[in-house]
Amino acid sequence: MTRSRVRLVRQTEVAECGLASLTMVANFYGFDVDLGTMRRRYSPSMRGAPLRALINLADQIGLTPRAVKLPLEELGNLHMPAVLHWDMNHYVVIEAIKGGKALIHNPDGRSNWLSLSEVSDHFTGVALELRPSNDFNRQSLRERLHLSQLWQSMTGLKRALAQVLLLSVVLQAFVLASPYYMQVAIDSALPALDGDLLTVLALGFGLFTAINVVASLLRSFVLLNAGTSVGYALATNIARRLFRLPIEWFEKRHTGDILSRFQSIVPIQNLLTQGAVAALVDGIMAIFTLAVMFYYSALLAFIAIIAFALYAVARFVTFSFQREAQEASIITSGKEQTTLIESLRGMVTLRLFGRESLRHALWQTRLTDSVNANVRLSRIGIWQNTANLLIFGLENIIAIWLAIGFVIEGAGFSVGMVFAYMAYKNQFIGKSAALIDQAIQFKMLSLHLERLSDIALTDEDRSFTVGSDAATELTGKIALKDVYYRYSPSDPMVLNGVDLSIEAGEHVAITGPSGGGKSTLLKIMLGLVEPEAGEILIDGIPLHRFGYKSFHRQIAAVLQEDSLFAGSLADNIALFDDEVDMERVVRAAVAASIHEDIARMPMQYESLIGDMGSTLSGGQKQRVLLARALYRAPKVLLMDEGTAHLDVKHEAVVNAAIGAMGITRIIIAHRQETIAAADRILVMQDGKLHSDTATPPDPAYTTVPA
């Protein structure tokens, strides 16, 4: 089979296979762009991209799309590369068909030649042909994260590297001198049977060895300290950026994939501390030893250079395969970790439904993919090592044959010179091969930087970059003016011109059918999600001018996806404040009607809650979350089904306690008791808010049977 001309682009987000497929085709035609840039320009929907959305995106890129429906046997008539609809919910790219097999590039997997019978199991019969239009612009829009961007803020790195370099030079001086010791001992001391000379040589090189050991010890400690500080600085910088990314970024990615991207710090750290110095020292040593080799014999040196060149060609020819295999190994490992994490989190559900075996089978499939990817990577390493042994093994045989021949012919080559030359030659081969290996690792660094760029180059959440951070006093008045929102440009509007005005201290309930946009509306009011159009006013001031941080400090929320953290109940209610105010903790717990439950626990407020609140019931967990919100003494409280797990008695107590606080309350609810306690009821319908007097709530979704 021929080598692929389409470069595989793997999807990062859960539902961007269509965008990744378009990126592959665009790259094929000369529009050099990475998936991150495409995502920032043409944001895909979290809910996937229908064919019409792909057609619109292709048109924006400058590709002429043509959707076709065809049977499998006519697949070869497609203009390739083309996008295929796959498994009813996925897109792949087909590049060629040869010998009854199709070259398929799967954004969620790897490039592979599949038999047409295998293609038939996945292909839905719908394809999208893509050709460059007249205004198609062949350009490069690839945004890359550069290594220099990572070390600019580090302190002490240059000094540490200079120390390592100096100590490495001392070590290499010993390496250069050692072969000469052998030559003098064999050619001078041995023929003359001069024991005194041999003793002097031994003492001199023994002292040199002691210096070498001390230098090696110091170098190891410097590398340890430098590696630790660099790794710590890299990890904290990337983690700081990670924690400041928009909420939507996390919603579109799997946990295992995020962790695998974060782990790309490790190879970067190693190359910054050890690899850079090693490459410089190996390069210098290779030049020095090569010069000494030419001094002994130009012919033998040229043979070593030829072997070095052949090894370099072998490594660089296999680099693209190695990079692809390395990327597949990282991605499949991330998927396996994601499946394992999700399975552990959902163990109760799996146990109740008896799906442990099925979930284990799914994890085993992910593990198999990861193992196979590692095997492919290891196979490439085996072939590279084989090339190393073959090339340098043959070079060694030829060098020994020629060197001993020089001695036999009396061509000015002594036995000691043979030993010395072979030692220098082995050093040259070792250093030059290591230099090539380091060069490959530096090229491989682009893979890790590309994966980290998804974190480092994504814009921070606007709450960190927009508006004043001054402590503007909040009274609690919130207004929305003509707010529109949809999940992507290809999706219908979820919020379609929402207007809302809530006075300070007012209690407003929002209800409506599930999936109608109520939770999205709440996130927009919280400043977590940016509307496509419209304005959010806080006390009559646009939210971006009021200041996101200032607003967040004075409000609190209880959302459906809220979670607790491992620690004590007091820690969770105070959300790990540096100095926990226990009086406020107790007051918040009393208001949330959880104090009595806590008082009955053996360790009371110091009781540990387990992983994500696993030791608490659903109602207890919800009341702890509510206590956490009330601990802040907010001016505005927003709740998304915040009392859904409470019984009527506890809910009445909670509502009375919060009502006595006189704060603005905005709740999303379906329970009739919760809705009835509000001052005003609004119904979300068709993307708009209606007063309950105009559109009465439907009992089907506003009441819960007793």
Residue type for 526, please? L
Taking the C-alpha atoms of residue 265 and residue 405, their distance in angstroms, rounded to an integer, is 52
The sheet that has 636-640: what strands, in order across it?
A: 555-558, 636-640, 664-668, 507-511, 680-685, 688-691
Q: Which residues have CB under 8 Å from 631's CB, separation 6+?
A: 573, 574, 575, 584, 585, 588
Q: Which two tokens stand for residue 38?
A: 């495409």
17 is catalytic: yes
Locate tokens 């959902």: which residue?
A: 346
Among 46, 19, 108, which residue's Cα sits nearest to residue 488? Answer: 46
500 touches 517 (CB < 8 A)? no
Tokens, residue 341: 């994490």
* CA atoms of 288 and 294, how far apart (whole Å): 10
Q: Which residues contact 470 (CB under 8 A, 6 or more apart)?
A: 547, 550
d(CA 665, CA 639): 8
Please give the single-letter amino acid code of residue 534: G
**Helix, strand, coil content of the chain in percent (nearest 5):** 60, 15, 30
Q: Compute how many other C-beta atoms are within 10 angstroms of the C-beta atom of residue 521.
A: 28
- Long-range contacts from 90-99, C-beta under 8 angstroms, 24+ separation: 90/17, 91/17, 91/18, 91/20, 91/21, 91/49, 91/54, 92/17, 92/21, 92/122, 93/6, 93/21, 93/24, 93/25, 94/127, 95/4, 95/5, 95/6, 96/2, 98/1, 98/2, 99/1
CA angle, 428 as apex, 427 and 429 as ends, to 5°?
90
CA dist 561 and 419 (Å) reads 72
338/456 Cα distance (integer angstroms): 22
Active-site entry in 6, 15, 17, 164 = 17
Structure tokens at 439: 């060069």
Select from 384, 396, 168 the least CA-distant residue to 283: 168
Judge whether 433 and 384 are in contact, CB under 8 Å.
no
| Number of alpha carbons in the 13 Å side-chain half-sphere of residue 141 | 18
Helix (H) or strand (E) holding 102: strand 101-105
- Active site residue ranges: 17
